[in-house]
Structure 1
Amino acid sequence: MQAIGENTVLAQRYALTRKLASRSGDETDAEPGSSPREVWIATDSTLDREVTATVFPADFEYAEAALDSARRAAGVEDHHLPRVLDVGTENGTAYVISEALHGSESIAAMLQFDSLPAEEVRRLIGESASGLGSAAVRGLHHLQLTPHDIVCSPTGAVSVLGLPTDAALAGADDLPADEASRIDTLDLVRTLYAGLTGLWPGDRPVPGLRDVTRRADGELPAPSELVPGVPGDLDALCRTTLNADEGPRTPSELARQLAPWSSERVTASGRRPTGADERSGAALQSLPGGNRRPGKAPRDDRRVADSAQDATAEVPVGAIRAAVAADGDETTQLSAVDLKKARERTATPPVDPVDDYDPSFTELEPPVPGLGGDFEPDRKSSRLALVLIVLLVLVAMVFAAVGLRGIGRSSASSHPSTHAPAPSSSGAHARSSSAKPAPAPKLIPIAAISAYGVGGGQYTGYASLATDSSPDTYWRTFIYRTANFGGLTNGTGLLLNLGSTQAVKSLKITTTGGDSTIKFFLSDQIEAVSTRTPAATATGSGTQTVDLGGAKGKYLTIWVTSLSKQADGSFQERINDVKVYS
């Protein structure tokens, strides 16, 4: 292999700029049989962008196998796997060029500070299992996975490194598919264990992580024995997989067990980090009546005063003052005295009795209509008023008579026969019933959504685009040559968590492309669709309303069994929007 260093140029295009990792093959932390290889950041002079270059000797025993594996990895379309951009050899050096992952941090690096939130670990491992499941469909397996190989970008995107070359360079890529999938699954669960506890449970040490101490009986302690707050399903998954040699056998099966997971990064508080202004108002928003945007003055001082005064029964005045001061809004810096004064200022004032009441004062009646009110009417004026009133009464009677005659004629014309049958009571009831508007469907909020199927689903990171109410975004499957997935699988789809058991009457789904066939399943547990009967099936394109007849369940599976044909002739399902109604 030619001497490799800064400014070395490969294929007259890729200039090496910074070394990221190096392994000589005889280092104490290297796997047995691992090859000398280096990973560099390089600059692609043709496209003026940064890439990642993995280089190793072209005459190494497994070099050709690694290059072949990288070529196959280039055909896997999954955003969890960095795209392979170029493969080749030059002057005794073999190289694999892949996209650069700017600012990404590995799970191993995150664990240098503390263990991770359980739901973030679920997300990281679930996304990784999805990617490895997609690769397994193409016959690719990692076989060398550690917490160093799973990285997370600043935006929360999860990627798995080393898939194109690590297994091949270790000479381990000729294992049977079921055995290789089990190895990857075990390594994923070991990484999940490390994420929950900060300790590595594997037999081989991992640089930068402390090994877990086994119990006296040789078994691994459950994560819940080491740290508090571990969800029961994750705890059981670690125990059954790592101690009892049970549990999921493939990454796809593991992803299904972990689903659904958050589509966004999860912090220790259970939510994504927000801006400083949101953090500063968090304390005030926790008080009754304080659910408002920071920095905004309340619209109704009396409402704020009432609710804040009620809050003082449970929250010390100092806490209220500190919370409001942190909010930075001077209009709401209320002490206990201020609250009392605010109530007094805003209270409706009582109606006081009139102190200067004069019992000799008598209120005059209003003047007679048609006459001025500034003089006392005489007899002649009274007579004139009486005549006017009589005339008005006569005119009213004439108009009433004309109106009644018109009603009689209208009735006679509408009923020419006196023996016409009266409408039946059932007909009247039918008209009355039809006049009542049908109740409007109630939208069911989606608690979580993830891709579901091959590899735990396809393009899991895009699943939330199917429920963002934007017609321009969509979740999509991989691209296939035929509508039946090229025979690689019998379906794929989305898994929606409705939060609790719901009676679903209908849903509205919008897709892009030609006709497709989609089946809908409801259940209270996450179950394989192959053993269940769908609540409904839809075949078509565009926006379709599907009647589910009130089927009940917490989990709604949208299962695509026949793909849409797109404008370019390829077959791919694109789901733009899903809305569920009760």
Structure 2
Amino acid sequence: MEGVGPGTTLDGRYTTQRRIEQRHGCERWTADDTTLGRSVVVLCLPDSDHRASAVLDAGRRAAGLDTPTLHRVLDAGRERGVAWVIESDVADSRSLAQLVHDGGLPADEVRRIVGEVATALESARQRGLHHLDLRPEDVLRTVDGEVRLRGVATSAAIVELDDVESEDASRRDAIGVVSLTYAGLTGLWPGPGATSLGSAPRVLGGVAAPSEIAAGVPRDLDALCRLTLGDDQGPTSPGDFARQIAPWPSRQVAGRSTIATTAAVDPRVPTALSPAALAPAALAPAALTPAALTPQASTEVLPTTAPEPDPSTGADPDSEPLAGPDAQDAPTEDDDEPTRVLQRPTSTSAPTEAIPVTGAASAGATPPPADSTAELPRVRPSSTVPEPTATGAEAGPVGSDPSGDGDAAPRAATTAAAAAAAAGAAMAGAGSAVAEAMSRAGSRVGSLGRQVGERAAEKAAERRGFHERITAPNAPGLTDDGDHVRPGTGSDAFLEPPAPLVPAEPLTKDESKVALAIVAAFLVVALIGGIYGVMQIGSKTNVDFGGVPNRAASASAGAATKSPTPAKTGATPNSSGEKLQILAADGFDPQGDGRENGTRAPRVFDGDPSTAWQSEGYSSAALGGLKQGVGVVVDLGPNVAAREISLTLGNRADVEVYIGADKSLTGAVKVGTKASADGTVTFPVKAGTTGQYVIVWFTKLSQDGNGRYRAILGEVEVKS
């Protein structure tokens, strides 16, 4: 930018150092405040830019925000063709975009960051300020884990959206916070603006959901992103978004990032686990040739039991591993670690044994002697199976011609038949093993069924015996004929007759009279107590229930009414007036931009004189000759009759007070004027004056501690 570079000094105290951002025709520079010895950030743009005045005004309004998450605005001004706003600097902070580029963030940390940003934006929204241009570069995290957001109000002025309606601005900021959430979870930017992040993939109706791109995305955050960025629904304001994702951690969260990475680019994956190192080894032809095919001295008889495994390796000494897809294993995976390719083990789980087959050898090998045999590995069956054998006279090595006639086809057929017989024997052994396992399972099921049947028979026998005992001819409670007897009678009775629940005889006439008299006495006592309690209600209070006043009180009231002079206590007639409720307040600047620090205007009716509205700073008491006056307009509601207006001023000023039906001096009734007023000032209102708005109009200002001329109004009080 022309006029700004390394070493440029603004306002005689801010020396620029390094440019850190350039966007929308504006630049941000790091700078040193030589007066206070601190680091600051300078947001600057050409003074000739049509947005310069709006950006400076936005910076002044943002200076009143005291939210810790928001970057503070320290100063604003113009000099040598440059308009600048000074912001606070956070040393060693990193933006959300940098955090994503450096490996990403855990989902809980993303929730915490966007939650803090949404809370800060909601605080600014309640003051009438918005951001409207959220980017990952605007969100910073300090080394202590604190979250900072810059650009509130100034970014809205830069993109020329500061006049957007409040509801539309709130929705735009809510979409911006959701976009920040999407960027933190996926490392991609779903919005239309340019950032240092890549663009999110587009699908029908919007962008892809975070859960389709990243791993471990919480369901609520995923749903908010889909509804807001795809279905045009979701939160209507940053506060609404914060309520939907709450609660979030109060401190920085460390953990695994949600951004998907591969072993080739992820620095967290060791080099030994790279795809090249983990690729399956090529299958050599020698690996496909069983070692058991080497020549043996003679044919051996198969043992009836499997040989003992080697204690050092845990494998059968006669077994041979099979390379390729036949060797399988199920390695376990750690759910907390990324999926990696693992090398298949080189051991087999099933013991093998050799079937002697003569003349079987690999192609290209040296032919063995005619009387040698070769072993073909197979799965050992559970029982001994007769194995077919071939002698050297029946078959020879492949390619040999013992008869000398050169015909090798019959011998090749013989060799194939022997191999087929060996395979059939192996399958027969496997079938025998399966049959034996099923037989054992059937035996166990049958045993369990027999046990259940025996138990059921025992229970049935017990029930039959109990029924026989209670229905036998000599059973207790039965007569000799088998009839049931009444309890309490008979020689074998053991139960006493039940006690009577009601009197055996009705009450006599005298007893009935006594009972009625007792009931009547209770009713009379209760009635007397109730009447006494009702009479005592309100007897110890001074509440007037609208009764007729006594004569003495009426006489004293009439005498007080006829008295033509006020009492000697010095009370004024207005001291008994009722304080009217103020509905709203706003800055009043009809000859300027119409705002005049309107976001601070509600302070004039908060009941605290220490919190005050103040005008913008001017170069002279006459408002720099720019306008005739500025002030505050207070809304009382329609057609209010006021009797007295009191003002609490923060410094000396010339002030006028008006009452009217509109927010305008035209047609308003002038209540009064006071020159060089200070402190509490009271304006009596002429009887019959009504209106909705009270306008406090300052025409002459006094200088504040910073050398600027301002109007300061602490409180406005209206009485009827």
What range describes the TM-score normalised by the shorter chain of this pair?
Answer: 0.3 to 0.5
Report which structure shows greater RCO (CA 8 Å, sep ≥6).
1
When normalised by structure 2's length, the TM-score is 0.36
- Specify the structure having the higher radius of gyration (Cα): 2
